[in-house]
Amino acid sequence: MTHLSKDLLLITPMLDFHCSNIQNLITDKQWCKLSQFDAIAAIYTFVRDEIKFGYNADDRLAASQVLRDGYGQCNTKGTLLIALLRSVGVSSRFHGFTIYNELQRGAIPNYLFSLVPERIIHSWVEVYLDGRWINLEGYIIDKAFLTQVQNNFADQCNEFSGFGIATKCLASPNIDFKGGDTYIQSEGIADDFGIYTQPDDFYALIGSNLSGIKKIIFRYFLRHLLNLNVKRIRNKGINKNKD
């Protein structure tokens, strides 16, 4: 029998699942009463679809802040996912990467794309279930946003990259948790930084995507334009003249 480190269930400054808004959510959803499989599935689906795809102020936000925001991207939604999983006793950890920026084209409009780093810090969550580690990445794009992209690129059952998606089959990406790996951006991975028990340690070592004046401009101005674009796509579809 595998004995997992207690560190895989720790509260950290980023994984602050002791906070009242997270504890209230867990109580309301009654996730603690579910089997591990069902709890993982329910929490995963919540983070995927109820926490909408969008751009937060920083990759290093605490889970409680991501929940308050109600939206996020790979890194911030992943922080929330780990925190929620640990809150119900499911061991989970962080796997860090970079992705090529081209898979963000469309979600990031062309007129802003020159400001984006060529390689963007990316991550997914690994969860321990039935004696093995499972990769979870398919939570990044909410189904409402994904459906709009699928509607505008009909019959795409070949490799697709754009709008925050990099998958071998846009028409049927592997995003539903059924006990195995899920992916939505994995075809765009550039660098693999390996596994970290805590996301806090990864960001302390690697940093975040932007720094200096670019970080300030992104936090207070550019991300709001990106979120307006993502919201418009989710609600109205893709305007190909703009995107």
For residue range 210-226, list pLDDT tens digits in order.
777 878 888 888 999 99
pLDDT single digits (tens) 8-47? 999 999 999 999 999 999 999 999 999 999 999 999 999 9
9-236 CATH fold: C8orf32 fold (3.10.620)
**pLDDT tops 80 at residue 154:** no
Which percentage of the chain shows pLDDT scores above 70?
96
Mean pLDDT throughout 107-129? 94
**pLDDT tops 70 at residue 243:** no
Pairing, β 71-72 against β 52-53: parallel
Show Cβ contacts of residue 35 under 8 Å, excluding neighbours closer than 6 positions: none
Average pLDDT, the chain: 94
**Residue 156 has what pLDDT?**
66
**Residue 240 has what pLDDT?**
65
**pLDDT tops 70 at residue 1:** no
**pLDDT tops 90 at residue 74:** yes
**Residue 70 has what pLDDT?**
98
Mean pLDDT throughout 102-127? 94
* pLDDT band at residue 101 using 50, 70 and 90 as cut-offs: very high
**pLDDT tops 70 at residue 242:** no
